[in-house]
Each structure stands twice: as C-alpha cells, then as structure tokens.
C-alpha cells in the first residue's frame, strides 16, 4: 500500500492538506498536516483516530503514528505552496549553487512565474530558481 497516495486521497476529504510525510525504519509514520484555519491539537487527534482505523482496514503496517502541525517554519514543497505563501519570508536551500556560489536564499517570496520561484533577496534584487533546483524551502517565522 502506498501511504503517500492513501493520505493524499484521504486528508482533503477531512479538510486537511498533507504537508510532509516521514517513514522511519522502526515503523514510525509521522505526518504534518495543515488547513486554511491552522491546526489545533483537536485536529491532530481527529486525523490520528481516523488514520488508525483506515490503516487497519487498508492493512498498512506501522508501529507508531504521529500527526502534527507543520509549525511556524512550515516546509514548502509543492508549486502551490510557493503560490499560497507569496508575500511571506522564506529560506531556500538549493541543490546546486547559483552562479557566484550562492546556495541559500532568504527573502520575500514573490510567487512562481514560468515554473520558477521568485524571491526578493534585497531591495530591487529578485532571484528566480526552478522548482527542481530547490532542495529545501521553509517559511521564516516572524514574531
């Protein structure tokens, strides 16, 4: 059973988005969920209870299930994430350095244009990188 596919088909029906999934060797299934209204402890309990029953029915083998919010430094993985969080501060780690050796970008996310993520890294300095070049991207918490 493909857990990713199962979760991608199940969570939206409950009103949640799968942000990230981690599968550990020791049978740990850890998932991070989000919704437009944010995530509360009650949301995590609701999803955990639902998935416990679903995994039993679908014969998904696991030892422990953890459901959590993505936190203030939410990872950005899909193109839709980069569109949704335009205007927010982000930190992006690249797979391969840009010309000049730069491998990390931090600044205001401007969105996605022609398959490239645009980040304003300094006043009047826009950097555009292809989604395929991004190793990790996270929101930068603002307090």
Short-list 140, 7, 2, CA closest to 74: 140
With vertex at residue 74, the alpha carbon angle to CA 69 and CA 80, rounded to the nearest 5 degrees, is: 105
For the chain, what is the domain count?
2
Please indicate, yes or no, whether residues 10 and 62 belong to a single structural domain of this protein.
Answer: yes
What distance in Å separates the CA atoms of residue 112 and residue 130, rounded to the nearest whole number? 9
Query: Of 68, 89, 105, which closes a domain?
Result: 68
Per-residue pLDDT of the chain (143 residues; tens, 9 = 90+): 689 999 999 999 999 999 999 999 889 999 999 998 899 999 999 999 999 999 999 999 999 999 999 999 999 999 999 999 999 999 999 999 988 888 999 999 999 999 999 999 988 899 999 999 999 999 999 88
Is 9 found in the same domain as 63?
yes
122 and 97 in a single domain? The answer is yes
- What domain range is 51 assigned to? 3-68
Residue 100 and residue 125 share a domain: yes
Assign 105 to helix, strand or coil: strand
Q: Distance (Å, rounded) from C-alpha 63 to C-alpha 52?
A: 11
pLDDT at 1: 60
63 and 83 within one domain = no
CA nearest 38: which of 74, 90, 80? 74
Assigned domain for 32 exists:
yes
Residue with tokens 């998935």: 51
Q: Are residues 85 and 106 in the same domain?
A: yes
CB proximity list for 12: less than 8 A, separation 6 or greater: none
Q: Is residue 73 part of a domain?
A: no
Q: Do 62 and 105 share a structural domain?
A: no
Instruction: Note the pLDDT of residue 122.
Output: 87
Residue 36 lies in a domain: yes
- Strands of 125-130's sheet in order across: 125-130, 116-122, 104-113, 89-94, 134-139
Indicate the residue among 44, 68, 92 that finishes a domain: 68
Domain end position, chosen among 22, 41, 68: 68
């Amino acid at each position: 059973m493909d857990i990713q596919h199962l979760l991608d088909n199940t969570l939206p029906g409950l009103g949640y988005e799968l942000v990230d999934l981690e599968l550990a060797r020791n049978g740990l299934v850890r998932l991070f969920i989000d919704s437009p209204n944010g995530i509360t402890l009650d949301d995590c309990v609701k999803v955990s209870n639902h998935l416990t029953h679903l995994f039993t029915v679908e014969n998904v083998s696991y030892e422990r299930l953890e459901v959590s919010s993505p936190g203030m430094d939410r990872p950005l993985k899909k193109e839709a994430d980069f569109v949704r969080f335009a205007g927010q501060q982000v930190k992006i780690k690249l797979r391969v350095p840009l010309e000049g050796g730069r491998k990390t970008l931090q600044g205001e996310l401007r969105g996605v244009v022609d398959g490239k993520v645009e980040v304003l890294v300094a006043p009047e300095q826009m950097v555009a990188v292809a989604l395929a070049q991004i190793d990790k991207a996270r929101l930068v918490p603002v307090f």
